[in-house]
Structure 1
Amino acid sequence: MTKEQIMSIPTVADETSAPLLEIRDLQVGFKTQRGFVPAVKGVNITLGAGQTLAIVGESGSGKSTTAQAIINLLPGAGKVTGGQILFEGRDLTKISASEMEQVRGGQIGYVPQDPMSNLNPVWNIGFQVEEAIRANSNLTGKAARARTVEVLQEAGLADAADRLKQYPHQFSGGMRQRVLIGIGLSARPKLLIADEPTSALDVTVQRTILDHLATLTRDYGTSVLFITHDLGLAVERAEQLVVMYKGQVVEAGNAREILANPLHPYTQRLVAAAPSLASRRIQSARRPETTDHMAISDIGASDDTLIARADKREAGVHPDLITVDHLSKIYNIRQRGFGKTELRAVDDVSFSIAKGTTTALVGESGSGKSTVAKLVLQLETISSGSITFDGADVAALKGADLLAFRRRVQPVFQDPYGSLDPVYSVGNTIAEPLMAHKIGDKKSRQARVRELLDQVALPASTINRYPNELSGGQRQRIAVARALALKPDVIVLDEAVSALDVLVQGQILTLLTDLQAELGLTYLFITHDLAVVRLVADNVCVMQKGRIVETAPTDDVFDNPQDQYTQRLLEAIPGAHFAFAR
């Protein structure tokens, strides 16, 4: 089958009825300093009432641009240059701005991807949700407030009534995402466009949200257009699938058929890169395959230290570098008036991480795993218990000792957009830790920056570019390079790949594995994606409500989970039992 034949496959809904949404030969471009750049090139999509369709593809493929064009939310430089977007037979590219305001929110709901930048930090959550309800309905006063609580509960926020006065920064990433989902569903729209709606959510909350969306589709005839990089979600929740690459549709049709038997080479690459429960740990290309001394010498690794390290690794001899012992963290939460209540975010947690290995901390949003990461990094004070790093109690470190600790333990955060300063060039971003710790002169720092760019597989020309000129995957590579600048022993990765598409995610995970093999790094990997855990972790600690309920080697946790909560987490992974083409 040729590429042209594949592209012509229609995503047909019910042929006996008119489609709810029909995109015909859509073309979108952006005006830049270098001229007009086409981003979407002749896309055709058809979606029927009550159906669910997923658009998948790597960053920059045009999937979010296509979704934004439907409701005229393209960035200022973006413009629809051709084609039609028919919603209930009306061409949305031809209607006025005031008419679009009636459609947007009321008839077509939208859930954007980044929960932090799409919520106003100076307004409380209740006000922001209620504002959307007032704008898209006739509800006011107590009725609007009651509806606010209702939509947040529908979106998975059980204690919604108690949280209306709180602000976005007081919510976790997953909770903020649930607020956006509540806003998108507040007017019971006919079509919901969801751009990576569950990328910030753990698998159990994700299932709650997706079950609710499925209920809307069934009970209210709501159609759902997913933009996602999670192929498991696509196969489990979407009837139709559209695969986009470089602004074009390269394959379209039944979701299960495409992912079980992809025809286009690009779709085949996507499916091959998707992590699943059948995955096995990534093996580094830089890791010696054997501990036989002659074999290691033959591949140019005759150094005695490297040989000893390989022997220890194979023998399972790993001294503990980090020991967490009966760790607790208690927050005092203000209530109405002058009242306070205690929130035990971390409750009597104990685990250890052997040098040169990866320990994954997994669990639902709010389970306390990111709080543990902050405690390990000494970004929060410990309420009780202890954390020992290389034999020293980290809570007792002060002054020069604390600074030395920070050199040896570095973080990589979740958001590749928010964790880089937009006014710093890539070179200055990577060199910043070196300057903060007064390491080297300008010339040696520049040399170190170029060395780090090479380590994370980025060209030297990247040094003068800025974050807004880079893709999400490139930005996360820069974040990894910055963490490596001080030659640390430990890297704490807090949801470091959750915002990335499967191809880029695979590249970053392989990079981390290679760096660990080459540099002997120790990783604390915080994530809600258990399929990713299978690829990178040696050991897994499962957290629930601030406590560790199960800890074991990775294969034991996946093949024979002991705790019912762990079993539920594994069962909730989208597409866990689907046989993807390999």
Structure 2
Amino acid sequence: MTGQTTVSAATSATDAASAPLLEIRDLEVGFTTQRGFVPAVRGVNLTLGQGETLAIVGESGSGKSTTAQAIIDLLPGTGRVTAGQILFEGKDLTTVSARQMQDVRGRLIGYVPQDPMSNLNPVWNIGFQVEEAIKANGVAQGRDARKRTIEVLKEAGLADAGDRLKQYPHQFSGGMRQRVLIGIGLSSRPKLLIADEPTSALDVTVQRTILDHLETLTRDYGTSVLFITHDLGLAVERAEHLVVMYKGKVVEAGRSTDILANPLHPYTQKLVSAAPSLASRRIQSERRPETTEHMDIASIGARDAHLIERADEREAVTTPDIITVENASKVYQIRQGGFKTKELKAVDDVSFSIPRGTTTAIVGESGSGKSTAAKLVLKLEEMTSGSIRFDGTEIGSLSGKDLLSFRRRVQPVFQDPYGSLDPLYSVGRTIEEPLVTHGVGDKASRRARVLELLEQVALPASTINRYPNELSGGQRQRIAVARALALKPDVIVLDEAVSALDVLVQGQILDLLTDLQSELGLTYLFITHDLAVVRLIADNVCVMQKGRIVEAATTDEVFDNPQQEYTRKLLEAIPGANFHFGR
């Protein structure tokens, strides 16, 4: 199919004659750059009916988010619609005034952006920000607005919403921040909800809760949902219809189950075969031969058999532990107004060890303490009690040159690719920064290392002079991975390091990490909520719940014979686990 493909997400038979809620016709969007005008969306057509759900999938930079942002006139920077129509309830949104768009945006069309940290104000508490949106959209005022604030946060999955209103974004985990944005997007009961990677920061159990709530809205309120996602399991479970985008064009469209069971376009076939969300169902299967040799698509994807072979090799060799965590605890004092505080035990008496040259994954729900445990290992947070030893040395006593040496040997890749990159630094300077800080090489050798790292993470050399705001979320995360690799560390702590990546690049990064581990003897601590990724890359798994490790074993033992009901629920909640995807 071509970019002129139209998705027909038809309404029910009784409404077949009525006009669609959203219709996009021949949409063209581009950005003005120093090198001229760059087209980002080229001739996209799609139709979404009342109460229907449509998913748009594709790799980073394919035009998914740009299409969604164009609908509500939130294109970043110099982006603008250059041709086509965006008809919402018959009205062309490309021709309305800014004031008229404000009446549509939020009240009639809700929007859940991709990045929770960049879209929540760090100096305002959560309750104020949600209440502000509710008032601005005319949903409620005064005390009713505060009551509605608590309601929407509970609907979005924050059971203790009333106690968290006075907390700030930095006190929330990535998943919790995402739930706040979802609550804001749903607060006015919009006719259309545009959700850009709405659950990429959420664990599978909370993801199911959120998506069940979206389905309830669709059914009870007639709300239509436009998903932007890289999770094909989520697309097949939650969306009736699917659009596959590549380089700004629609290359395949139709019913989700039909496309993902029998993908026809070579690019869609590539997406399906590379999707880590399907790993637990295809881990022993043979990959189909390359079908994209004549396409301008990077030959990337998760090589399952190769990854499993490497893991088997590591399991056959007994290696000493490079990191040992014993009875580690971290207690935060949470302000409750005035001088009152309450203790929050984020990590509670946790013990585990990581053998050198292996990968240990910590999984669990959002807020279970995974990221806090990673910060303790990185010495970015001080333990309240317990012990952490790195290569035989207690890290709690490190300072000065010893601490700098530790930092060089243990590098992080954080969850949020937006907040962890300095917007004033070019890509080249960002990757070069750790080399400069640790006095590694001269200017020429550092530039050569930067170019080498860009190639490793599948970014063109021209990226070196670009800035974070010019990159997609997936591209930013690849920069973060390249920066962590710059010093050739012994240990890399990856906090949701591939959650923002599309399936093709995700597969490439996982394969890259595995190759580097084999070649350089790297050790990984992988923090993730994506159990399918764990199945691909981890040797050992620790399952965390409410700050404690409730199950720890090899990856095969946890997946094949989970001992805890909590672990079984995590596995059962993997999107698309029971769907037979095409090959």
User: Normalising to structure 2: TM-score of the pair?
Assistant: 0.91
Equivalent position of 1:104 in the other structure: 105
Shift of 1:456: 4.1
Stretch deviating more after TM superposition (32-41 or 536-545) = 32-41
Cα separation, partners in 2 of 1:535 and 1:145, compared to 1, 3 Å: same
Q: Percent identity between the aligned chains?
A: 78
- Is the radius of gyration larger for structure 1 or structure 2? 1
CA offsets 1:433-464 (integer angstroms, 9 cap, x no match): 22222334434434444444454455555444
* Aligned partner letter, 1:118: N
CA offsets 1:19-40 (integer angstroms, 9 cap, x no match): 2112122222222333332222
Stretch deviating more after TM superposition (87-96 or 346-355) = 87-96
Matches within 5 A, 1:297-312: none
2:315 and 2:498 mapped to 1: Cα distance?
28
Equivalent position of 1:383 in the other structure: 384
Equivalent position of 2:350 in the other structure: 349
Cα separation, partners in 2 of 1:174 and 1:103, compared to 1, 3 Å: same
8 Å Cα contact 2:21-2:88 kept in structure 1: yes
Shift of 1:565: 0.4
Residue 283 (structure 2) aligned to one of 280, 283, 302? 280
Equivalent position of 1:219 in the other structure: 220
Equivalent position of 1:307 in the other structure: none
Q: Does 1:38 align with 2:36?
A: no
Equivalent position of 1:330 in the other structure: 331
Cα separation, partners in 2 of 1:86 and 1:472, compared to 1, 3 Å: closer
2:459 and 2:42 mapped to 1: Cα distance?
28
1:158 and 1:121 mapped to 2: Cα distance?
22
Equivalent position of 2:565 in the other structure: 564
Equivalent position of 1:7 in the other structure: 5
Cα separation, partners in 2 of 1:313 and 1:71, compared to 1, 3 Å: closer
* Aligned partner letter, 2:366: S
2:459 and 2:71 mapped to 1: Cα distance?
35
8 Å Cα contact 1:489-1:522 kept in structure 2: yes
CA offsets 1:336-392 (integer angstroms, 9 cap, x no match): 222222111111111111110000000011100101101001111111111111111
Shift of 1:399: 2.3
Cα separation, partners in 2 of 1:9 and 1:336, compared to 1, 3 Å: closer
Matches within 5 A, 1:233-382: 233-275=234-276, 276=278, 277-280=280-283, 313=314, 315-382=316-383
Shift of 1:287: 9.1
8 Å Cα contact 1:233-1:574 kept in structure 2: yes
CA offsets 1:232-282 (integer angstroms, 9 cap, x no match): 110010111111111111111111111010111111111111112224396
Equivalent position of 1:536 in the other structure: 537
Cα separation, partners in 2 of 1:227 and 1:315, compared to 1, 3 Å: closer
Cα separation, partners in 2 of 1:313 and 1:246, compared to 1, 3 Å: closer
Cα separation, partners in 2 of 1:359 and 1:279, compared to 1, 3 Å: farther
Equivalent position of 1:299 in the other structure: none
8 Å Cα contact 2:428-2:464 kept in structure 1: yes
Equivalent position of 2:293 in the other structure: none
Secondary structure in structure 2 of the residue aligned to 1:278: helix
User: Normalising to structure 1: TM-score of the pair?
Assistant: 0.91
Q: Does 1:199 align with 2:200?
A: yes
Shift of 1:312: 7.9
1:190 and 1:375 mapped to 2: Cα distance?
44
8 Å Cα contact 1:6-1:251 kept in structure 2: no
Shift of 1:112: 0.9
1:247 and 1:460 mapped to 2: Cα distance?
22
* Aligned partner letter, 2:145: A
Unmatched runs of 5 consecutive residues or more in structure 1: 291-309
Shift of 1:131: 1.4
Unmatched runs of 5 consecutive residues or more in structure 2: 285-301
* Aligned partner letter, 1:525: F
1:311 and 1:578 mapped to 2: Cα distance?
28
Shift of 1:477: 3.2
Equivalent position of 1:150 in the other structure: 151
Cα separation, partners in 2 of 1:452 and 1:501, compared to 1, 3 Å: closer
Equivalent position of 2:210 in the other structure: 209
Equivalent position of 1:495 in the other structure: 496
Equivalent position of 1:190 in the other structure: 191
2:454 and 2:554 mapped to 1: Cα distance?
33
Cα separation, partners in 2 of 1:11 and 1:264, compared to 1, 3 Å: farther
Stretch deviating more after TM superposition (470-479 or 73-82) = 470-479
CA offsets 1:209-230 (integer angstroms, 9 cap, x no match): 1111111111111111111111
Shift of 1:5: 10
2:146 and 2:491 mapped to 1: Cα distance?
47
Equivalent position of 1:163 in the other structure: 164
1:170 and 1:110 mapped to 2: Cα distance?
23
* Aligned partner letter, 1:517: S
CA offsets 1:36-93 (integer angstroms, 9 cap, x no match): 3222222111111111111111111111111112122222422222222222222222
8 Å Cα contact 1:348-1:385 kept in structure 2: yes
8 Å Cα contact 1:279-1:534 kept in structure 2: no
Equivalent position of 2:229 in the other structure: 228
Stretch deviating more after TM superposition (28-37 or 280-289) = 280-289
Count residues with an aligned counterpart: 561
Equivalent position of 1:481 in the other structure: 482
Equivalent position of 1:517 in the other structure: 518
Shift of 1:311: 11
CA offsets 1:111-136 (integer angstroms, 9 cap, x no match): 11111111122222112111111122
1:543 and 1:122 mapped to 2: Cα distance?
30
Equivalent position of 2:406 in the other structure: 405
Stretch deviating more after TM superposition (129-138 or 206-215) = 129-138
Q: Does 1:436 align with 2:437?
A: yes
* Aligned partner letter, 1:261: N
